[in-house]
Amino acid sequence: MSKKKLNMKDRYRLLTRDLDWDYSYQDYEEIFKQESFEGIKITDWSKWEDPFRLTMDSYWKYQAEKEKKLYAIFDAFAQNNGQKNVTDARYVNAIKLFLTGVSPGEYQAHNGFAHVGRQLGGVGARVACQMQSLDELRHIQTQIHAMSHYNKHFDGFQDFAHMHDRVWYLSVPKSFFDDARSAGPFEFMVAIGFSFEYVLTNLLFVPFMSGAAYNGDMATVTFGFSAQSDEARHMTLGLEIIKFLLEQHPDNLPIVQRWMNKWLWRGYRVLTLVAMMMDYMLPNKVMSWQESFEVYFEEAAGALFKDLARYGIEMPPYAADAIAEKEHLSHQAWSIFYNYGHAAAFHTWMPTDEEMDWLSEKYPNSFDQYYRPRYEKWREMEEAGERFYNPTLPMLCQTCQIPMGFTDMENPTMTSYRQSEYDGDRYNFCSNGCKDIFDYEPEKYVQAWLPVHQIYQGNCGGAEMEDVLGDYYKMNLGADNLDFKGSPDEARWNAWHNLKPAEDKLKKAS
Amino acid sequence: MSKVYIALQENEESRYIVEAIEEDNPDATVIYQPAMIRVENERCMVIKRETVEEKMGREWELLALHVNLITIGGNVDEDEDQLSLTWNS
């Protein structure tokens, strides 16, 4: 006898909504203590919609299928010595940055959604947060597994978790997630669920991962796209939370708008790393940062905010600042890292002639005028045996924690510099967005753990560069850091490609 | 002018899904990029289970789309027969 299958809507109702119960002997406010302090007003959680109507049993089924595909590819990649088939060993440095800078953010998101899901009174939202929390855990695990193979053959992968909590540039993504996780549950949802997942992660996972494929990195493209397949669900959750909050009560609108303004800018600043990965760290180019920014930010976010206009939501004002920077961002970021190449756990380099020409072609209004001359000077110094390393420590923006290397877009040779005073101290910012975020909640941001301040205060291993980089950050000095030219990575890569595999096998056999 | 879009991993299954999308959304634009296929359309796009099944020559659940999905843009609505992406303005 065959039973009639339930349709999707009924399944979702029974397996999600029906799991909730009424609280008879505890006050609702006692159970969901964090639901009201941010000023958000919820009148009816049952209005929550999950457009995918995914139930937990289907979730496990399809996640298992994704994992099987993914691990089959990891095995094939390892068995076929995939590390030798990437375009160029320089490329692997983008993956080092990914493991140290992005993957720990997946773990932070896992913690964040586990916590926030518990704080929300609506069962639909709770189940969606539970799935996302599990997804994020899957993402960091698969990323560690994928990159453990590279760790056998390249420097800089060995201590990513230790480094994430200490190293100066990694404080940028770390402080971003710390900021979101120390906010209330609804702000976290707008910060990570909406601003980061919906508006910004496409820029990280779509064009960069397509680039990984184009550079022969089968393992990375596969974990990237496998993670991104969950991201489509996260994006839907992010958009749903916004629509839900705005439909619940008109008082929610100004709060949601302020969070969107803040988190769009916070997230965009974190993506500075991705801009330079796209333009400088992919030997085979798919598209420039500017091109991907136009498709996945200007076009996609433009359509999104137009759709949200019916609720009274406006495009965050800092979007215009982000758009103004698109022809400069990656070059300024790469320059900062080239300057501090001795203090980074990955290699930096000057682009080849061919790469510079590609940059000129893609950035006709900025590259030749502002960046090529600087690079040519640095290349000259390198050829004279005086590769430039900046011996001083940079001033950091109090909010995004990026060195103050961004310039004024009206005058791209002037540093963009903003200041605020709070409680008798002066604070420095890279942009209007970062300054406004501080000014709204100075009590929060004065507590920022700024790596440069911490070094000067003697909290990072000692007074010498080696104490900080070697003992405190646990970099293998001379292997993980400095220019790609002359690195052990480069030497190994060259040795692999001069090998004659057939002869080598015969030698081993005899 | 708001575009909805979907990106899929380029593989054997996606090939049929994209064929189905093209059939059900004749104005859609298909863009091939390394390892992925992006399909975009003005305002709305629909993926119908029946058309995908016809192309694949076998049964196919809409939820199986998640296995090959990379990203989407637009408001999602899904039931067992179709998934639609729309922008309201």
Asked whether A437 and A398 are in contact (CB, 8 A), the reply is no
Residue from the list A207, A229, A304 with its beta carbon closest to the beta carbon of B69: A229
| CATH number, position B69 | 3.90.56.10
Among A313-327, A410-424, B18-32, B70-84, the least confident range: B70-84
| A192 Cβ contact partners less than 8 Å away, ≥ 6 residues apart | A109, A112, A113, A177, A180, A238
B57 at A interface, C-beta within 8 A: no
Q: Mutate which of A6, A7, A8, A230 to disrupt the B interface (most B C-beta within 10 Å)? A: A8
Residues of A in contact with B44 (CB under 8 A): none
**A310 → chain B, closest CA residue:** B89
Closest B-chain CA to A59: B63
| Total structural domains within chain B | 1
Q: Is B69 on the interface with A (CB under 8 A)?
A: yes
> Phi-psi bin for A254: left (phi > 0), alpha (psi -120 to 50), beta?
alpha
C-alpha A172/C-alpha A274 separation (Å) is 12
Are B3 and B85 in contact by the 8 Å Cβ rule? The answer is: no
Cβ distance A286 to A279 under 8 Å? no
* 3-state SS, residue B69: strand
Rounded Cα gap, residues B9 and A222, in angstroms: 9
B76 CA to chain A: closest CA distance, Å? Answer: 6
**Beta carbons within 8 Å of A262's beta carbon, 6+ residues apart:** A191, A433, A437, A440
Whether pLDDT at B1 is above 80: no
Mean pLDDT, consecutive 10-residue stretches, chain A (510 aa), reads 72 83 92 95 91 86 91 90 91 94 96 96 91 94 93 96 96 97 97 90 85 87 82 87 96 98 97 95 93 93 93 96 96 97 97 96 98 97 96 96 95 94 97 98 98 96 94 96 95 82 46
* Structure tokens given for A166: 């200490």
Give exposure, A401-440, as e/b (b: 16+ Cβ within 10 Å). bbbbbbbebeebeeebbbebeeeeeebbbbbebbbbbbee
Q: What is the pLDDT of residue A506?
A: 47
DSSP character string of A297-318: IIIHHHHHHHHHGGGT----TT
Q: Do B34 and A210 touch (CB under 8 A)?
A: yes
Shortest Cα distance from B69 to chain A (angstroms)? 5
Strands A425-429 and A411-415: unpaired
Q: Does B81 touch chain A (CB under 8 A)?
A: no
Top pLDDT among B35 and A505 is at B35
CA distance A438 to A435: 5
| Cα of A300 to nearest chain B Cα, Å | 7
Is residue B79 less than 8 Å (CB to CB) from chain A?
Answer: yes
Q: What is the CA radius of gyration of chain B?
A: 12
Nearest to A176 by CA among A440, A474, A472, A437: A437
A416–chain B nearest CA distance, Å? 33
Please report which residue ranges of chain B form alpha helices under DSSP H. Answer: 12-24, 49-56, 65-68
**What's the token pair of residue A20?**
């909730």
- In angstroms, the CA A217 to CA A143 distance is 13
H/E element holding B84?
strand B82-86
List all residues 6 or more positions away from A498 whose beta carbon is below 8 Å from its beta carbon. Answer: none
Backbone torsion region of residue A58, taken as left when φ is above 0, otherwise alpha when ψ lies between -120 and 50, otherwise beta: alpha
Could you tell me what percentage of chain B is helix, strand and coil, using 3-state DSSP and rounding each to the nearest 5? 30, 45, 25
Cβ atoms within 10 Å, residue A358? 16
Are B46 and B24 in contact, with CB atoms under 8 Å apart?
A: yes
Q: What is the spatial distance between Cα A172 and Cα A133, in angstroms, rounded to a whole number?
A: 22
Best of B59, B63, B85, B88 to mutate (most A CBs within 10 Å, chain A): B63
**3-state SS assignment for residue A415:** strand
Please give the ipTM for the structure prediction: 0.87
Which residue in chain B is spatially nearest to A242 when comparing CA positions?
A: B75
Determine which helix (DSSP H) or strand (DSSP E) holds B47, and give its type and residue range.
strand B44-48
What's the domain range around B59? 3-86
User: B70 and A225 in contact by Cβ < 8 A?
Assistant: yes
Of B2, B67, B80, the CB nearest to A303: B2
Contacts of A72 in chain B (CB under 8 A): none
- Contacts of residue A225 in chain B, CB cutoff 8 Å? 9, 35-36, 70
CA distance B63 to B55: 17
Measured between alpha carbons, how far is A68 from A62 in angstroms, rounded to an integer? Answer: 10
For residue B60 the two structure tokens come to 């196919």
**Residue closest to A281 by CA, chosen among A433, A98, A118, A486:** A98
Q: Which residues of B touch A202 (CB under 8 A)?
A: 71
Torsion of Cα atoms, A322 then A328 then A332 then A334, to 10°: 100
- Name chain B contacts of A235, Cβ cutoff 8 Å: 71-72
Residues of A whose CB is below 8 A from B76: 51-52, 236
Find which of B47, B76, B87 to mutate to test the A interface (most A CBs within 10 Å of its CB). Answer: B76
Does the beta-carbon distance from B72 to A235 stay under 8 Å? yes
**pLDDT at position A2, please?**
57
Contact A491, A170 (CB under 8 A): no
Q: Where are the domains of chain A?
A: 38-393+447-509
Question: What SS3 string covers A334-402?
Answer: HHHHHHCHHHCCCCECCCCHHHHHHHHHHCCCCHHHHHHHHHHHHHHHHHCCCCCCCCCCCCECCCCCC
**Could you give the maximum distance between any two Cα atoms of chain A, in Å?**
84
Q: Do A54 and B72 touch (CB under 8 A)?
A: no
Given this model, what pLDDT does residue A3 score? 63
Distances (CA, A) of A262 to A185, A324, A401, A438, A439: 16, 18, 15, 10, 12
Query: B33–A210: do the CB atoms touch at under 8 Å?
Result: yes
Tokens of A334: 């790469």
The Cα B33–Cα A79 span in angstroms is 27
Which of B70, B78, B89 lies nearest to residue A228, judging by beta carbons? B70
Least Cα separation, residue A159 to chain B (angstroms): 30
* B88 contacts A286? CB cut-off 8 A: no
Instruction: Identify all chain B residues contacting A310, using CB atoms and an 8 Å cutoff.
Output: 88-89
- pTM assigned to the model: 0.93
Interface of A to B at Cβ within 8 Å reads 7-9, 51-54, 58, 62, 65-66, 69, 202, 205-207, 209-211, 213-214, 221, 225, 228-229, 231-233, 235-236, 239, 286, 299-300, 302-304, 306-307, 309-310
Instruction: Identify the DSSP state of B26.
Output: T
A386 exposure class (CB count in 10 Å sphere: 0-12, 13-18, 19+): exposed
Set of chain B residues whose Cβ sits within 8 Å of the Cβ of A209 = 35-36
- Closest CA relative to residue A50, chosen from A138, A124, A155: A124
Cross-chain residue pair A8–B68, CB shorter than 8 Å: no
Residue A464 Rama label (left phi>0; alpha psi -120 to 50; beta):
beta
Would you identify the CATH topology of the domain A38-393+447-509? Ribonucleotide Reductase, subunit A (1.10.620)
